[in-house]
Structure 1
Amino acid sequence: MKILQIPTGGLFSDGILSCIVEYMTAMDKSGMEIQVLATNNPEKSVVEKVENSGCRVVSIPFPYRKKNIVKYFLALYKYISKEKIDVVHVHGSSAIMSVELVAARLAGCKVRIAHSHNTTCENQRADRILRPLFNRSYTTAFVCGQDAGRWMFGKRKFTIIPNGRNLKKYEYDSKKRIEYRNKLGIASDALVIGHVGRFNRQKNHEYLVRVFSEVYKKKRNSYLVLVGTGEKVDEIKTLVKELELQNNVIFTGVIENVSDYLSAFDVMLLPSLYEGLPLVVIEWQIAGLPCIVSDTVTKECAITSLVKFESVKKEPEVWANEVVNLILQDRNDSKEIIFNEIKTAGYDIESGAERLKKIYLKLVS
C-alpha cells in the first residue's frame, strides 16, 4: 500500500508536520510505503525528522504550489499516476485542498483523504469559491476536532483523528528543568513563560510580548522564551528592544528537542487569533504546564484542568495578572493524574497510530 501525505503549506516544523511525524513514528508500517510531499524547499533538519519517522520525502518537477498552481497541479497528477499511489492524505485548513484532491482523482487514486487542521483559513474568498469542487473531490474526511470538522465539512460525515502524542517524550523531568534553565542562562527561582509557534499574524506575538511587558513590571525575575521562527521574527525583536526587554526575552529559533525545554518553563501562553486544535497545547498539558489560551481557540484543546481561556480583546495586563497570580503546583505530584486524563481523551499516540493504520487498510480494501 502506497500512501502519499501532502501538507499543503509545505514541510516546516509546524503543527501539521508534527502530527504526521508523530503518527508515522508510532505506526507499524509493515506492508506500507509512506511518502511525504515537499511543496517547498525544506530545511535539512525537517527532512531528517520525516525520514527518522520511517517515511520518504519526495518532490515533483514543479513543487512550488504558490508560484504556479497549474504547473504544480499537472506535476502532482503525473506523479500520483506514475507511482500508482493508493491513498492521498491531504492536510490543510480550506477548500484549496481541492487542488491536490482533484489531481489525485484524475490520476486514478481511489482513496482521497481531506484532513482539516483548523477552524478557519487565511484566504476565505478562494475557500468559498472552491467549496463545491472540494465537496466532490474527497472520499474520506479527517479532522483534528469537532470545531475543525464543522468548519471544513459542515453536517457531512467526518472522523476525528486526535493529535496524539508520545506521553513519555513530553513528561516533566526535574533534571531537565535544571539542565535547560542553565542552557538558557535562567536562574532556578525565575518565573519562565514559554511559547512555541511560527512568527506569523495568527500566533499574535505582538500581544504576547506586551503581556510579558506587564508581567515584567510586576515581577522582575521573569523571562519569556519564544521558540520558533517565521516572517515576523524581526518585527517582534524590534518591539522587544523598544520595550527594553531584550535581557529577559529569549529567541531560541527552531529547536528539534522542544519537549526537553518544556520542563524548564512554568507557564505557557497562546494568544492566537485562531487555531484548529493546537498540538502545542496538548504537549504543554502532557508536560504538566498551566496554559493560558485565547478564547478564540477551540475549547476541545482543554483535555485537562491546566488550561484557562482568556480574551485577546482585553488589555495585556489582564493576562499578566493571570500569570503572576498562578499558584504553581509540583509537576511530579500531578503527573500520573494528568497522564490518565490524556489517555482517557484519546491522545496517547500508540493506540492512535494503531487505529489510523486500521482505517487506511479498511479504506484501501
Structure 2
Amino acid sequence: MKVLHIPTGGLFSDGILSCITDYMAAMDKTDLDVRVLATNKAEDVAVQKVKRSGCKVVSIPYRKTNIVKYFFSLCRYLVREKIDIVHVHGSSAIMSVELVAAMLAGCKVRIAHSHNTTCEHQEVDKLLRPIFNRAYTKAFACGSEAGKWMFGNREFVIIPNGRDIKKYEYNAQNRINYRNKLKIPKSALVVGHVGRFNVQKNHEYLLQVFEELYKKDRNTYLVLVGTGEKIDEIKDLVKKSTIRDNVIFTGVIDNVADYLSAFDVMLLPSLYEGLPMVVIEWQIAGLPCIVSDTVTKECAITPLVKFKSIKESPESWARNIIDISLQDREKSKDVLFSSIRKAGYDIEFGAERLRNIYFGLTKTV
C-alpha cells in the first residue's frame, strides 16, 4: 500500500511534521510505502527527520508560487505512482487543492486531517468549504475542537498527537550537558519556547513577558527554539532591548527532546492553536507550562498546564512564572506517564491504531 502525507504548509520542522514522523517511526511499515510531500524548498533538518522515520521525501515545490502548476503536477504524480491513500494535513478548506487532485487522480482514500481551530485565510476557507466537504472520504482531527472547526457536525476520528514517552522524559545529565552547551548557569531560571517564528506564535508578547521577568530576576534566560519568516524581525527586537544578553536563539534543532531537560518553564502565548503537540511534549518532560487561553483546553492532560489570557499584562505572566513551584521532575515521572498514557498519547498504541485504520479504509473501497 502506498501512502502520501501532504503537510499543506510545507515541509518544515514543525508540529505537523513531528506528528507525521513520530507516527511513521513507531508504525510497523510492513507492506507500507510511505512518502511525505514537500510543497516548498524543504529544510534539511525536516528532510532528515522524514528519512529517519523510514519514509521518502517527494518534492513538488509550486504550491505558493504557482498553484495551477502544482495542482496538475500533483495529479500526474498520484496517477503515475498509483497512490492508495492521500493523507492531507492542514487547518482550512484550502486542503481542497490536494483532495480534489487526489479525487481526479482516482485515489479512493482521501484523508483530511485538521490540526487547528481556526485559520489565517478565512474568506478563502469559507469559499472552498462546499468543495472540501465533497472531496475528502475520511476526516481526522488532532482533537475535538480542531475537528468541530474543520468538519462541523460531520463524523471525524480523533488521532491524538502521540509521542514516544521515553524520548521526552526528563534526564538529569541532559540538563547539565545542554545548559553547558547554551552557556547557561546551573542556578539560572530558564524559560523556553518551541515553535515557528510566525504571527500565530506571538513572539513579540513573549519577549515582553520575559522583559518583565528579567526586571524581577536577572538570573533568568529565554531560549527560543525554531525558525520562520519572522525570526530576523524578532532578533532585531532583542538586539535593541535590555534582555539581549539573556535571550538565546537555537535555530532549527533535530533533538528538541534533549534540550527540554535544561528548561524550567515553558510559555506558549499563541494567538490561536489546534491542539499544540509541543505542550504534550513539555508535559511528558515534566515542565510547567503557561499557555494562552485561546489554545484548546484539551492539551492540558496533566496539572502542569496553566491557561492565561494574552489580554492580561506581560507583568502578570511574569509574576505567574515566579510563583511556579518547581517540582522534582525525576520523582514525578511515573504519575505523569500514567496520565499521558490514559489520555491516549502513547505513540506505540496510536501508531498501531492508525495502521489498522489505513488498511481498513483500503478494504472498504
Tell me the TM-score normalized by structure 2: 0.99
Of residues 199, 202, 208, the one that matches 1:201 is 199
2:192 alignment partner, SS class: strand
Q: State how 1:54-93 maps to structure 2 within 5 Å.
A: 54-60=54-60, 63-93=61-91
Partner of 2:239: 241
Partner of 1:52: 52
The one-letter code of the counterpart of 1:15 is G
- Find out whether 1:188 has 2:181 as its counterpart: no
State the distance in 2 between where 1:210 and 1:55 align: 40
Q: State how 1:65-144 maps to structure 2 within 5 Å.
A: 65-144=63-142
Partner of 1:30: 30
1:327 alignment partner, SS class: coil
Partner of 2:219: 221
Partner of 1:19: 19
State the distance in 1 between where 2:357 and 2:179 align: 42
Cα RMSD (Å) of the superposition? 0.7
1:142 alignment partner, SS class: strand
State the distance in 2 between where 1:244 and 1:308 align: 28
Partner of 2:317: 319
Tell me the TM-score normalized by structure 1: 0.99
The Cα offsets for residues 302-330 of structure 1, whole Å up to 9 and x where unpaired, read as: 00000000000111001000001111011
Shift of 1:230: 1.1
State the distance in 2 between where 1:335 and 1:215 align: 28
Q: State how 1:166-185 maps to structure 2 within 5 Å.
A: 166-185=164-183
Of residues 270, 284, 288, the one that matches 2:282 is 284
Shift of 1:241: 2.3
State the distance in 1 between where 2:58 and 2:180 align: 39
Of residues 251, 254, 262, the one that matches 1:253 is 251
State the distance in 2 between where 1:344 and 1:44 align: 35
Of residues 324, 327, 330, the one that matches 1:329 is 327
The one-letter code of the counterpart of 2:220 is S
Identity of aligned residues (%): 71
The one-letter code of the counterpart of 2:226 is G
Shift of 1:235: 1.4
The one-letter code of the counterpart of 1:252 is T
Moved over 4 A (4+): none
Is this contact kept in 1: 2:13–2:43, CA < 8 A?
A: no
- Find out whether 1:5 has 2:29 as its counterpart: no
The one-letter code of the counterpart of 1:87 is I
The Cα offsets for residues 97-128 of structure 1, whole Å up to 9 and x where unpaired, read as: 00000010011000000000000011101000
Is this contact kept in 1: 2:34–2:56, CA < 8 A?
A: yes
State the distance in 2 between where 1:195 and 1:107 align: 41
Partner of 1:159: 157
1:333 alignment partner, SS class: coil
State the distance in 2 between where 1:41 and 1:211 align: 34
Shift of 1:44: 2.1
Shift of 1:242: 2.3
State the distance in 2 between where 1:341 and 1:330 align: 17
State the distance in 1 between where 2:272 and 2:308 align: 13
Shift of 1:55: 0.5
State the distance in 1 between where 2:185 and 2:63 align: 46
The one-letter code of the counterpart of 1:248 is N
1:275 alignment partner, SS class: coil
State the distance in 2 between where 1:23 and 1:333 align: 28
State the distance in 2 between where 1:264 and 1:335 align: 16
Where structure 2 has 5 or more consecutive residues not aligned to the other structure, the ranges are none
Shift of 1:280: 0.3
Partner of 1:265: 263
1:354 alignment partner, SS class: helix
Shift of 1:244: 1.6
Where structure 1 has 5 or more consecutive residues not aligned to the other structure, the ranges are none
